[in-house]
């Protein structure tokens, strides 16, 4: 059985002030296996974030259904960890307290949740910053904290919506390596939305390409590159060939979106 099954899921947003409704997502189907790392790539406004939010239970589908381990997704739940582009940390909580927040909500005893939080802080390279507050951290460190918070809950699937989009290029590259390393060790199931073609290839085991709005899946391309993946893999002929193919796929959709 698939870990995640997206079956003919579509989304239509109601028109504003009596205007025409807007179809953001055509009926879309996607099968995600256990331990898959799928990157979702497409032009702006194609519905990729809408699809991710529906899977996360933050939006309601207009049609279709989503099953996670065979159970219907009907709203948000601790079985799905969500990381946004913005740093959604509680400014009054320390790194350790932010990471432990979901565990506290689940009723995990304090000593246990703080131990789990310290462990995850160390895994994302923040072992020396557990008592720092978000305002004392760089953007990359704040996003490491958000990723650790999502993973500390041990979700069935991790959903990331352009989590590195606001970071500078050097920090972004380091974050890609960190996340890929965590996935290689923990073997979590991941859905990762991005605009960045190199990023989609580097971290993904499959790249799902979406069309211009109204979005639909137009290609599902396996990334047959070895693990562990050093950052230098981006210079190999295999990587460059995949990038060239995806550039053409996305370019066609960007042109379509402008017409």
Concatenating the DSSP letter of every residue in the chain gives --SEEEEEEEEEEPPGGG---EEEEEEEEEEE-TT-EEEEE--TTSSHHHHHHHHTTSS--SEEEEEETTEE--S--TTEEEE-SS----TTS-HHHHHHHHHHHTT--HHHHHHHHHHHHHHTT-GGGTT--GGGS-HHHHHHHHHHHHHHT--SEEEEESTTTTS-HHHHHHHHHHHHHHHHHH--EEEEEES-HHHHHHH-SEEEEEPSSSB-EEEEEE----SS--GGGGGSHHHHHHHHHHHHHHHHHHHHHT-
pTM higher than 0.85: yes
In a domain, 228, yes or no: no
Q: What is the pLDDT of residue 201?
A: 97
Q: What is the pLDDT of residue 17?
A: 77
Q: What is the pLDDT of residue 2?
A: 84
Q: What is the pLDDT of residue 99?
A: 96
In a domain, 145, yes or no: yes
Question: What is Dmax (Cα atoms) for the chain?
Answer: 58
In a domain, 256, yes or no: no
CA 8 to chain CA mean position, Å:
21
Mean pLDDT by 10 residues, the chain (259 residues): 92 84 93 96 89 95 96 92 88 96 92 95 94 95 94 95 90 93 92 95 96 91 94 95 94 77
Looking at the structure of the chain, the number of domains it has is 1
In a domain, 119, yes or no: yes
Q: What is the pLDDT of residue 259?
A: 64
In a domain, 108, yes or no: yes
In a domain, 239, yes or no: no
Phi, psi angles (nearest 5°) of residue 53 = -70, -35
Q: What is the pLDDT of residue 189?
A: 95
Helices 110-123 and 139-152: crossing angle, nearest 10°? 130
Q: What is the pLDDT of residue 180?
A: 94
In a domain, 44, yes or no: no
Per the structure, the complete domain to which residue 138 belongs is given by 80-154
In a domain, 200, yes or no: no
């Amino acid at each position: 059985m698939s870990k995640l099954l997206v079956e003919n899921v579509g989304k239509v947003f109601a028109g504003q002030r009596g205007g025409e409704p807007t179809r953001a997502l055509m009926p879309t189907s996607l099968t995600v296996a256990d331990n898959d790392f799928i990157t979702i790539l497409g032009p702006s406004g194609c519905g990729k974030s809408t699809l991710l939010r529906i899977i996360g239970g933050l939006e309601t589908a207009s049609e279709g259904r989503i099953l996670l381990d065979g159970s219907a997704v009907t709203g948000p739940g601790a079985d799905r960890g969500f990381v946004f582009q913005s740093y959604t940390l509680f400014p009054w909580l320390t790194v350790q307290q932010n990471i432990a927040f979901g565990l506290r909500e689940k009723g995990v005893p304090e000593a246990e949740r703080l131990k789990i939080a310290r462990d995850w802080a160390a895994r994302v390279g923040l072992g020396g910053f557990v008592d720092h507050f978000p305002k004392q951290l760089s953007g990359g460190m704040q996003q490491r904290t958000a990723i650790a918070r999502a993973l500390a809950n041990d979700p069935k699937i991790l959903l990331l919506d352009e989590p590195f989009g606001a970071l500078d290029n050097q920090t972004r590259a380091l974050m890609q390596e960190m996340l890929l390393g965590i996935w290689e060790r923990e073997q979590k199931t991941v859905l990762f939305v991005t605009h960045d073609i190199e990023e989609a290839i580097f971290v993904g085991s499959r790249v799902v390409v979406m069309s211009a709005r109204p979005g639909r899946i137009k290609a599902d391309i396996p990334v047959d590159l070895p693990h562990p993946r050093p950052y230098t893999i981006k210079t190999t002929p295999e990587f460059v060939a995949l990038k060239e193919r995806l550039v053409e796929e996305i370019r066609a959709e960007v042109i379509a979106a402008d017409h």
